[in-house]
Structure 1
């Protein structure tokens, strides 16, 4: 598999093109509900855009976020809005309905890949999501700023190329480890686990926990047994959300030598989409290698 140094070299080798440098007051204003969508916007728009990400602190639980007047003002001034949808960030719908604008473009990830309320809302881990947003954003920026259309297209190509390297890593894991059983406390990494060919156990438990519901005694027992009997080779957990149930499962996993991998709902500070995803996929690959040796 290609490692993180490879991905970093790829990004350095294909620098983003920014076109004619824009003055601060002339830059396109983009607001992203989540910081990974903000990172995408910066990679496509380069120095011709100003990007604000609302959910940006990797130490915060996104589910506890509350809007403020400053958040509303930030959205009101934006030319382009990017958010997840599928009930992940319902506060965005409320803010947008309170601040209408004829000249504003709204890009909703769920709409682009055909997801709806009730589906797993952690759409950024679906390999189809980021390319769809990038393509839509490029088209809108090119329409608004035709003088720099070629540069937005070049940035799109560079972004797509970097994701192709990650897709290759995903395919390599799937080729070798398809069907390997894993589990998770929440379905945060679900789309990526599916892309990797992994078989996810205890999904009903995960949905209950995600929705702040109490898993049934049967679901809890099945989850614990999958850790104790060796069925689950990896336990994924949301490292931004800690509670008594999660702590208990982590302890059981460690006692039974099940590899534990933390995943996040926010892009970690100092990383890019590419290094963030690449690091998590590398962690999965290393865990699977260790389990088969």
Structure 2
């Protein structure tokens, strides 16, 4: 996956209108034409699916990136996407430089919709002073996450050195994102505030079940060494108590679409050859020569590989997707 950013072309509104008439769209809406409800636009279907769970039939959700083969880093939005963002009541993005295209769309469309930025709810986000799940401060944190005037002037965040922006693989962060979505929907639609709150609480209960599964994995295999070709699953790996021994220089190069230095590749292959690595974790949405070498070496030594994706697979919910990821790790480590 490449985190190299480039200016994304956003077509003019005249072209956008033409595309609308032609029925072109790169995203997928939760509701059909003519449905009523708040319009929610999410950069990827990860956050779109979460919004669907919180908003239910009261919202129409459009996720701009839905295809498992599409790398969100290189996604180029259409003119239709610009119009969808312009009409949004609420926008949900990952932030941290991951989905810069949504920030370009917000700016070019003139959208004044509130924006929920997922990275801001991570304990590891440099600007986040943290939140205490036991002290009842979560709601305060969600309230404070609303886009201020200052934030509205700078929707996006550049890639932050040393910060893993793939925060949707951290269930605890996702709970806070869901709370923030519920808060925003309640402010936009006060008559249904209790429904949004109840849905968020139900979702939080499902996240607790995920965290219990991760705790069980930690108890059974805590400290087991894994090799992750990219930092995408880093939060889930850490929550499971597993030890990611991948050289930073390897995963960073792969993430940024650069060649892995020969010395780093040799070091990585030696780690696989050592026999200490229990599983190799890859990304379904990117591929490269160095990753292929790691996979080949792992297969030659009987080390299982597990592939994680950056978007929710078709037919899955966020919860079922994470359950499947945890189950996949558990299965190979139990073997």
Greater RCO, 1 or 2 (C-alpha within 8 Å, sep 6+) = 1
**Aligned equivalent of 1:106:** 115
**Aligned equivalent of 2:195:** 151
TM score, norm. by length of structure 1? 0.87
Unaligned runs of 5+ in 2: 1-32, 127-159
Q: C-alpha offsets along residues 109-140 of structure 1, whole Å, 9 cap, x if unaligned? A: 11222526221121100122211111011111
Q: C-alpha offsets along residues 176-196 of structure 1, whole Å, 9 cap, x if unaligned? A: 211111001111111110111
Q: C-alpha offsets along residues 20-55 of structure 1, whole Å, 9 cap, x if unaligned? A: xxx955410000001010000000001010000001
Q: Distance in 2 between matches of 1:186 and 1:90?
A: 19
Q: Distance in 1 between matches of 2:235 and 2:170?
A: 5
Matched residue SS, 2:41 = strand
Q: 1:174 aligns with which of 213, 218, 222?
A: 218
Matched residue SS, 2:323 = helix
Q: C-alpha offsets along residues 204-227 of structure 1, whole Å, 9 cap, x if unaligned? A: 111111011222222111111111
Q: Is the 8 A contact 2:72 2:98 kept in 1?
A: no
Matched residue SS, 1:202 = coil
**Aligned equivalent of 1:19:** none
Unaligned runs of 5+ in 1: 1-22
Q: 2:296 aligns with which of 239, 242, 251?
A: 251
In terms of fraction of residues, the more helix-rich structure is 1
**Aligned equivalent of 1:130:** 174
Q: What is the total number of aligned residue pairs between the two structures?
A: 267
**Aligned equivalent of 2:263:** 218
Cα RMSD of the aligned pairs, angstroms, is 1.5
Alpha-carbon distance, 1:62 to partner: 2.4
Q: Distance in 2 between matches of 1:281 and 1:27?
A: 34
Paired residues for 1:176-255 under 5 Å: 176-204=220-248, 205-255=250-300
Matched residue SS, 1:149 = helix
Q: Distance in 2 between matches of 1:212 and 1:163?
A: 33
1:86 paired with 2:65, answer no
Q: Distance in 1 between matches of 2:283 and 2:296?
A: 15
Q: Distance in 2 between matches of 1:220 and 1:53?
A: 37
Q: C-alpha offsets along residues 207-263 of structure 1, whole Å, 9 cap, x if unaligned? A: 111011222222111111111111211100001112222222111110011110000
1:48 paired with 2:48, answer no
- Large movers: runs of 4+ above 6 Å: none
TM score, norm. by length of structure 2? 0.77
**Aligned equivalent of 1:279:** 324
Paired residues for 1:14-25 under 5 Å: 24=34
The worse-fitting range, judged by mean Cα deviation, of 240-249 and 194-203 is 240-249
Matched residue SS, 1:98 = helix
Q: Distance in 1 between matches of 2:217 and 2:94?
A: 27
**Aligned equivalent of 1:9:** none
